[in-house]
Protein backbone atom coordinates (compact mmCIF):
# COMPACT_ATOMS: atom_id res chain seq x y z
CA UNK A 1 0.00 0.00 0.00
CA UNK A 2 1.45 3.36 -1.02
CA UNK A 3 1.88 5.77 1.87
CA UNK A 4 0.64 9.38 1.75
CA UNK A 5 -0.87 8.85 -1.68
CA UNK A 6 -3.32 11.74 -1.27
CA UNK A 7 -0.60 14.19 -0.24
CA UNK A 8 1.51 13.19 -3.20
CA UNK A 9 -1.32 13.62 -5.66
CA UNK A 10 -2.21 16.98 -4.16
CA UNK A 11 1.40 18.13 -4.47
CA UNK A 12 1.47 17.02 -8.11
CA UNK A 13 -1.74 18.96 -8.81
CA UNK A 14 -0.13 22.10 -7.34
CA UNK A 15 2.90 21.92 -9.59
CA UNK A 16 3.09 24.88 -12.02
CA UNK A 17 2.39 24.18 -15.70
CA UNK A 18 4.31 25.65 -18.57
CA UNK A 19 3.47 25.78 -22.26
CA UNK A 20 6.42 25.46 -24.66
CA UNK A 21 6.85 28.16 -27.31
CA UNK A 22 4.80 27.48 -30.45
CA UNK A 23 7.76 26.85 -32.82
CA UNK A 24 9.83 24.78 -30.39
CA UNK A 25 9.47 21.41 -32.08
CA UNK A 26 10.07 22.84 -35.54
CA UNK A 27 13.23 24.49 -34.27
CA UNK A 28 14.50 21.27 -32.71
CA UNK A 29 13.70 19.28 -35.84
CA UNK A 30 15.49 21.84 -37.96
CA UNK A 31 18.57 21.70 -35.77
CA UNK A 32 18.70 17.93 -35.79
CA UNK A 33 18.81 17.59 -39.59
CA UNK A 34 18.52 13.84 -39.47
CA UNK A 35 20.07 13.16 -42.83
CA UNK A 36 23.29 14.91 -41.98
CA UNK A 37 23.41 13.59 -38.44
CA UNK A 38 22.99 10.02 -39.55
CA UNK A 39 25.25 10.17 -42.55
CA UNK A 40 28.55 9.60 -40.76
CA UNK A 41 27.36 6.82 -38.43
CA UNK A 42 25.75 5.11 -41.42
CA UNK A 43 29.04 5.19 -43.26
CA UNK A 44 30.80 3.65 -40.28
CA UNK A 45 28.31 0.87 -39.61
CA UNK A 46 30.03 -2.50 -39.60
CA UNK A 47 29.14 -5.11 -42.20
CA UNK A 48 28.49 -8.57 -40.91
CA UNK A 49 28.46 -11.77 -42.87
CA UNK A 50 26.59 -14.76 -41.46
CA UNK A 51 28.73 -17.71 -40.41
CA UNK A 52 29.72 -19.96 -43.29
CA UNK A 53 28.02 -22.97 -41.79
CA UNK A 54 24.71 -21.21 -41.09
CA UNK A 55 22.76 -22.92 -43.86
CA UNK A 56 24.28 -26.28 -43.08
CA UNK A 57 23.21 -26.03 -39.45
CA UNK A 58 19.72 -24.91 -40.46
CA UNK A 59 19.49 -27.83 -42.87
CA UNK A 60 20.61 -30.19 -40.12
CA UNK A 61 17.95 -28.84 -37.77
CA UNK A 62 15.26 -29.28 -40.40
CA UNK A 63 16.33 -32.85 -40.92
CA UNK A 64 16.09 -33.48 -37.19
CA UNK A 65 12.53 -32.16 -37.04
CA UNK A 66 10.28 -35.09 -38.00
CA UNK A 67 7.34 -32.84 -38.90
CA UNK A 68 9.49 -31.09 -41.51
CA UNK A 69 11.09 -34.19 -42.97
CA UNK A 70 9.83 -35.16 -46.43
CA UNK A 71 7.51 -38.12 -46.65
CA UNK A 72 9.25 -41.25 -47.70
CA UNK A 73 7.97 -43.57 -50.34
CA UNK A 74 5.85 -42.92 -53.39
CA UNK A 75 2.98 -45.12 -54.38
CA UNK A 76 4.04 -47.29 -57.32
CA UNK A 77 1.17 -46.02 -59.46
CA UNK A 78 2.52 -42.49 -59.33
CA UNK A 79 6.16 -43.32 -60.07
CA UNK A 80 5.81 -42.82 -63.81
CA UNK A 81 3.85 -39.65 -63.32
CA UNK A 82 6.49 -38.30 -60.97
CA UNK A 83 9.16 -39.27 -63.49
CA UNK A 84 7.45 -37.36 -66.27
CA UNK A 85 6.96 -34.32 -64.10
CA UNK A 86 10.60 -34.37 -63.07
CA UNK A 87 11.67 -34.75 -66.68
CA UNK A 88 9.54 -31.81 -67.72
CA UNK A 89 10.95 -29.84 -64.81
CA UNK A 90 14.48 -30.71 -65.87
CA UNK A 91 13.84 -29.49 -69.39
CA UNK A 92 12.15 -26.36 -68.11
CA UNK A 93 15.00 -25.50 -65.73
CA UNK A 94 17.67 -25.70 -68.35
CA UNK A 95 15.79 -24.37 -71.33
CA UNK A 96 16.67 -20.88 -72.47
CA UNK A 97 14.69 -18.20 -70.78
CA UNK A 98 13.10 -16.34 -73.61
CA UNK A 99 12.58 -12.64 -73.27
CA UNK A 100 9.07 -12.15 -72.02
CA UNK A 101 6.66 -10.26 -74.15
CA UNK A 102 6.80 -6.67 -73.13
CA UNK A 103 3.71 -5.69 -71.17
CA UNK A 104 1.36 -3.16 -72.60
CA UNK A 105 2.62 -0.50 -70.22
CA UNK A 106 6.17 -0.92 -71.45
CA UNK A 107 6.15 -0.66 -75.22
CA UNK A 108 9.44 -1.44 -76.88
CA UNK A 109 10.46 0.98 -79.55
CA UNK A 110 13.37 1.30 -81.94
CA UNK A 111 16.46 2.75 -80.32
CA UNK A 112 16.94 5.51 -82.86
CA UNK A 113 13.51 7.03 -82.58
CA UNK A 114 12.56 6.52 -78.98
CA UNK A 115 12.94 9.19 -76.32
CA UNK A 116 13.64 8.01 -72.81
CA UNK A 117 11.02 8.95 -70.28
CA UNK A 118 11.78 10.33 -66.85
CA UNK A 119 11.36 7.85 -64.00
CA UNK A 120 8.65 9.82 -62.29
CA UNK A 121 6.37 9.60 -65.29
CA UNK A 122 4.16 6.54 -64.91
CA UNK A 123 3.46 4.34 -66.73
CA UNK A 124 7.05 4.24 -67.83
CA UNK A 125 8.22 3.92 -71.35
CA UNK A 126 11.64 2.50 -71.67
CA UNK A 127 13.95 2.61 -74.58
CA UNK A 128 14.98 -0.76 -75.90
CA UNK A 129 18.14 -1.90 -77.56
CA UNK A 130 19.63 -5.32 -77.95
CA UNK A 131 23.21 -6.16 -77.21
CA UNK A 132 25.13 -9.35 -76.84
CA UNK A 133 27.04 -9.13 -73.59
CA UNK A 134 27.90 -5.53 -74.23
CA UNK A 135 27.66 -2.59 -71.88
CA UNK A 136 26.78 0.06 -74.44
CA UNK A 137 24.66 2.77 -72.96
CA UNK A 138 21.23 3.05 -74.44
CA UNK A 139 20.47 6.60 -73.37
CA UNK A 140 22.32 9.83 -73.08
CA UNK A 141 22.79 10.83 -69.47
CA UNK A 142 20.72 13.77 -68.36
CA UNK A 143 20.03 15.49 -65.09
CA UNK A 144 16.90 13.37 -64.46
CA UNK A 145 16.93 9.64 -63.85
CA UNK A 146 15.73 7.83 -66.95
CA UNK A 147 15.07 4.22 -67.76
CA UNK A 148 16.65 2.41 -70.63
CA UNK A 149 16.29 -1.17 -71.72
CA UNK A 150 18.49 -3.62 -73.52
CA UNK A 151 19.00 -7.35 -73.55
CA UNK A 152 22.05 -9.41 -72.81
CA UNK A 153 22.67 -13.05 -73.50
CA UNK A 154 24.66 -14.55 -70.67
CA UNK A 155 27.27 -17.09 -71.57
CA UNK A 156 26.08 -20.50 -70.47
CA UNK A 157 29.50 -21.40 -69.09
CA UNK A 158 29.36 -18.55 -66.56
CA UNK A 159 26.06 -19.70 -65.14
CA UNK A 160 27.09 -23.34 -65.00
CA UNK A 161 30.31 -22.41 -63.20
CA UNK A 162 28.30 -20.75 -60.45
CA UNK A 163 25.78 -23.56 -60.15
CA UNK A 164 28.32 -26.30 -59.57
CA UNK A 165 27.50 -28.35 -56.51
CA UNK A 166 29.53 -28.10 -53.35
CA UNK A 167 32.05 -30.82 -52.70
CA UNK A 168 30.56 -33.04 -49.96
CA UNK A 169 34.03 -33.35 -48.47
CA UNK A 170 33.71 -29.76 -47.32
CA UNK A 171 31.36 -30.91 -44.59
CA UNK A 172 33.46 -33.92 -43.79
CA UNK A 173 36.11 -31.90 -41.97
CA UNK A 174 33.47 -30.29 -39.77
CA UNK A 175 31.89 -33.65 -39.04
CA UNK A 176 35.15 -35.35 -38.17
CA UNK A 177 36.34 -32.52 -35.95
CA UNK A 178 33.09 -32.67 -34.00
CA UNK A 179 34.27 -36.09 -32.92
CA UNK A 180 37.20 -34.34 -31.22
CA UNK A 181 40.00 -35.83 -33.26
CA UNK A 182 43.36 -34.87 -31.70
CA UNK A 183 44.64 -33.54 -35.01
CA UNK A 184 41.97 -30.85 -34.96
CA UNK A 185 43.72 -29.24 -32.02
CA UNK A 186 47.10 -29.01 -33.71
CA UNK A 187 48.19 -25.43 -34.50
CA UNK A 188 48.94 -26.17 -38.14
CA UNK A 189 45.56 -27.83 -38.58
CA UNK A 190 43.83 -24.91 -36.90
CA UNK A 191 45.62 -22.47 -39.18
CA UNK A 192 44.58 -24.41 -42.26
CA UNK A 193 41.05 -24.72 -40.96
CA UNK A 194 40.90 -20.95 -40.39
CA UNK A 195 42.10 -20.42 -43.94
CA UNK A 196 39.53 -22.87 -45.20
CA UNK A 197 36.73 -21.10 -43.31
CA UNK A 198 37.97 -17.76 -44.58
CA UNK A 199 37.81 -19.03 -48.15
CA UNK A 200 34.39 -20.54 -47.59
CA UNK A 201 33.12 -17.23 -46.27
CA UNK A 202 34.53 -15.39 -49.27
CA UNK A 203 33.07 -18.02 -51.59
CA UNK A 204 29.62 -17.57 -50.09
CA UNK A 205 29.80 -13.79 -50.22
CA UNK A 206 30.95 -13.83 -53.82
CA UNK A 207 28.32 -16.31 -54.87
CA UNK A 208 25.63 -14.14 -53.29
CA UNK A 209 27.03 -11.09 -55.02
CA UNK A 210 27.02 -12.86 -58.38
CA UNK A 211 23.33 -13.52 -58.01
CA UNK A 212 21.33 -16.01 -59.98
CA UNK A 213 22.61 -14.89 -63.35
CA UNK A 214 26.36 -14.72 -63.29
CA UNK A 215 27.02 -11.93 -65.74
CA UNK A 216 30.44 -10.80 -64.54
CA UNK A 217 33.25 -12.94 -65.99
CA UNK A 218 35.85 -11.39 -63.67
CA UNK A 219 33.95 -12.33 -60.54
CA UNK A 220 33.15 -15.80 -61.87
CA UNK A 221 36.84 -16.27 -62.53
CA UNK A 222 37.60 -15.26 -58.95
CA UNK A 223 34.96 -17.66 -57.71
CA UNK A 224 36.70 -20.50 -59.50
CA UNK A 225 40.07 -19.38 -58.13
CA UNK A 226 38.66 -19.49 -54.62
CA UNK A 227 37.22 -22.94 -55.18
CA UNK A 228 40.59 -24.17 -56.38
CA UNK A 229 42.35 -22.63 -53.40
CA UNK A 230 39.76 -24.17 -51.11
CA UNK A 231 40.27 -27.55 -52.70
CA UNK A 232 44.00 -27.33 -52.08
CA UNK A 233 43.49 -26.44 -48.43
CA UNK A 234 40.93 -29.20 -48.07
CA UNK A 235 43.36 -31.74 -49.45
CA UNK A 236 45.95 -30.63 -46.89
CA UNK A 237 43.39 -30.93 -44.11
CA UNK A 238 42.29 -34.36 -45.23
CA UNK A 239 45.90 -35.49 -45.48
CA UNK A 240 46.47 -34.46 -41.89
CA UNK A 241 43.41 -36.39 -40.76
Pick the binder of another protein from 7, 43, 112, 113 (CB under 8 A): 43
Helix (H) or strand (E) holding 202: helix 187-210
> Mask: binding to another protein, 106-145, rule CB under 8 A, as x and -?
x------------x----x-x--------x-xxxxxxx-x
Task: For residue 173, state whether it binds another protein (rule: CB under 8 A).
Answer: no
* Min separation Cβ 168 and another protein, Å: 20
Query: Which of the ranges 5-13, 22-30, 55-63, 201-209 carries the binding residues for another protein, by CB under 8 A?
Result: 201-209
- Give the side-chain half-sphere CA count within 13 A for 142: 13
* Min separation Cβ 115 and another protein, Å: 13
- Give the side-chain half-sphere CA count within 13 A for 172: 12
Angle between helices 169-178 and 217-240 (to 10 degrees): 40
Residue with smaller CB distance to another protein, 53 or 198: 198
Write the CA distances from 71 to 2, 74, 84, 132, integer angstroms: 62, 8, 20, 45
Q: Which of 200, 197, 205 minimizes the C-alpha distance to 47?
A: 205
Name the DSSP letter for residue 168: T
Q: Are the beta carbons of 169 and 238 closer than 8 angstroms?
A: yes
Residue with smaller CB distance to another protein, 22 or 91: 91
Which residues of this protein are in contact with another protein, per CB under 8 A?
35-36, 39-40, 43, 79-80, 83-84, 86-100, 102-103, 106, 119, 124, 126, 135, 137-143, 145-154, 156, 159-160, 202, 205-206, 209-213, 215-216, 218-219, 222, 226, 229
Amino acid sequence: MEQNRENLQQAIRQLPEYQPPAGLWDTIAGELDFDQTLEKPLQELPVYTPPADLWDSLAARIEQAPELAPEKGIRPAYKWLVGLVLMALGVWVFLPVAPPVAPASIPTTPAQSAEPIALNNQPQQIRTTQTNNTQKKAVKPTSKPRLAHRTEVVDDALIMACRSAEDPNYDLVETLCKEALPVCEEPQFKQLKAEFDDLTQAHTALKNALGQYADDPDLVSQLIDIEQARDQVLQQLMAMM
